[in-house]
Chains A and B, each alone.
Chain A
Amino acid sequence: MNSEKHTAEEGMKGKHAAKGTGSVRDSVLAQISSNQVRMRSRTFFVLRIIGIIVLALAILALSIAIVNFLSFTFRVNGQGSLLRFGGQGILIFLQVFPWPLLILDFVFLFFLERLLRVFRFGYRSPVLYLFIGIVLVAAVSGVLLDRGTPLNDDLLHQADNGHLPPPLGALYQGSRHAPPPGSGVFRGTIASYTPPTALLNDPDLGTSTIPVMLPPSGFDKDGDHQPTFGVGDSIMVFGVEQNGVIQAHAIYPLDPDDIPPFNHFDHDGGH
Chain B
Amino acid sequence: MDPLASLTDEELAARTQAGNHEAFGILVERYEKKLSYYGKRFLRVEEDIQDIVQEIFISAYRNIQSFDTKQRFSPWIYRIAHNSFVNELRRKSRRPFFAIDFDSLVAHPHAAETSEQHTHEREMKEMVEKGLEALPPNYREILLLYYQEELSYKEIADVLQVPMGTVGVRMRRAKEALTKAYQKMNQRYEF
Contact of A128 among B29, B53, B106 (CB under 8 A): B106
Please judge, given known A-B contacts A24-B53, A124-B163, whether A44 and B65 are in contact too, CB under 8 Å: yes
In the complex, residue of chain A having the shortest beta-carbon distance to the beta carbon of B47: A20
Q: Mark A60-82, 1 if CB is under 8 A from B, else 0.
A: 00000000000000000000000
Q: Tell me whether A201 is interfacial, beta carbon within 8 Å.
A: no
Please judge, given known A-B contacts A32-B61, A39-B64, A125-B163, whether A24 and B32 are in contact too, CB under 8 Å: yes
Contact of B28 among A24, A45, A129 (CB under 8 A): A24
Q: Tell me whether A5 is interfacial, beta carbon within 8 Å.
A: no
Q: Mark B149-162, 1 if CB is under 8 A from A, else 0.
A: 00000000110011
Please judge, given known A-B contacts A20-B47, A24-B53, A37-B61, whether A128 and B105 are in contact too, CB under 8 Å: yes
Contact of A123 among B53, B61, B162 (CB under 8 A): B162
Q: How far is the CB of A120 from chain B (nearest CB, A)?
A: 7
The listed residue with most B CB atoms (<10 A of its CB), out of A25, A29, A31, is A25
A27 contacts which chain B residues (CB < 8 A)?
54
In the complex, residue of chain B having the shortest beta-carbon distance to the beta carbon of A23: B32
Please judge, given known A-B contacts A25-B32, A28-B54, whether A129 and B106 are in contact too, CB under 8 Å: yes
Please judge, given known A-B contacts A24-B53, A24-B57, whether A126 and B63 are in contact too, CB under 8 Å: no
Contact of A127 among B29, B61, B105 (CB under 8 A): B105
Do A18 and B51 have beta carbons less than 8 Å apart? yes
Q: Is the interface of B mostly helix, strand, loop or mixed?
A: helix
Size of B's binding interface in residues, CB under 8 A: 34
Please judge, given known A-B contacts A45-B65, A126-B105, A126-B107, whether A120 and B54 are in contact too, CB under 8 Å: no
Per the bound structure, the CA–CA distance linking A236 and B61 in Å amounts to 68
In the complex, residue of chain A having the shortest beta-carbon distance to the beta carbon of B161: A123
Do A42 and B65 have beta carbons less than 8 Å apart? yes
Q: Tell me whether A225 is interfacial, beta carbon within 8 Å.
A: no
Q: How far is the CB of A246 from chain B (nearest CB, A)?
A: 50
B21 contacts which chain A residues (CB < 8 A)?
29, 32-33
Q: Tell me whether A117 is interfacial, beta carbon within 8 Å.
A: yes
Q: Tell me whether B24 is interfacial, beta carbon within 8 Å.
A: yes
Q: How far is the CB of B87 from chain A (nearest CB, A)?
A: 16
In the complex, residue of chain A having the shortest beta-carbon distance to the beta carbon of B65: A42
Per the bound structure, the CA–CA distance linking A154 and B102 in Å amounts to 45
Please judge, given known A-B contacts A29-B21, A39-B64, A124-B157, whether A19 and B105 are in contact too, CB under 8 Å: no
Q: Tell me whether A267 is interfacial, beta carbon within 8 Å.
A: no
Q: Tell me whether B25 is interfacial, beta carbon within 8 Å.
A: yes
Q: Tell me whether A207 is interfacial, beta carbon within 8 Å.
A: no
Do B157 and A18 have beta carbons less than 8 Å apart? no
Known: A25-B32, A45-B65, A120-B158. 12 other contacts (CB 8 A): A19-B47, A24-B57, A25-B25, A25-B28, A25-B29, A28-B24, A29-B25, A31-B58, A38-B62, A42-B66, A126-B165, A127-B104
B29 contacts which chain A residues (CB < 8 A)?
25
Per the bound structure, the CA–CA distance linking A28 and B165 in Å amounts to 37
In the complex, residue of chain B having the shortest beta-carbon distance to the beta carbon of A44: B65
Do B47 and A32 have beta carbons less than 8 Å apart? no
Please judge, given known A-B contacts A29-B25, A32-B21, A125-B163, whether A24 and B65 are in contact too, CB under 8 Å: no
Please judge, given known A-B contacts A37-B61, A39-B65, A127-B105, whether A18 and B50 are in contact too, CB under 8 Å: yes
Please judge, given known A-B contacts A25-B25, A29-B25, A127-B104, whether A39 and B50 are in contact too, CB under 8 Å: no
Which of chain B's residues 98-115 have a Cβ closer than 8 Å to chain A? 101, 104-107
Which of chain A's residues 14-58 have a Cβ closer than 8 Å to chain B? 17-20, 23-25, 27-29, 31-33, 37-42, 44-45
Q: How far is the CB of A45 from chain B (nearest CB, A)?
A: 4
Q: Tell me whether B164 is interfacial, beta carbon within 8 Å.
A: yes
Per the bound structure, the CA–CA distance linking A20 and B53 in Å amounts to 12
Per the bound structure, the CA–CA distance linking A24 and B26 in Å amounts to 11
Which of chain B's residues 134-191 have a Cβ closer than 8 Å to chain A? 157-158, 161-166
Do A126 and B61 have beta carbons less than 8 Å apart? no
Per the bound structure, the CA–CA distance linking A128 and B104 in Å amounts to 8
Q: How far is the CB of A1 from chain B (nearest CB, A)?
A: 24
Chosen A-B contacts, 8 in total, with CB atoms closer than 8 Å, are A20-B47, A20-B50, A23-B32, A32-B24, A39-B17, A120-B158, A124-B164, A127-B101
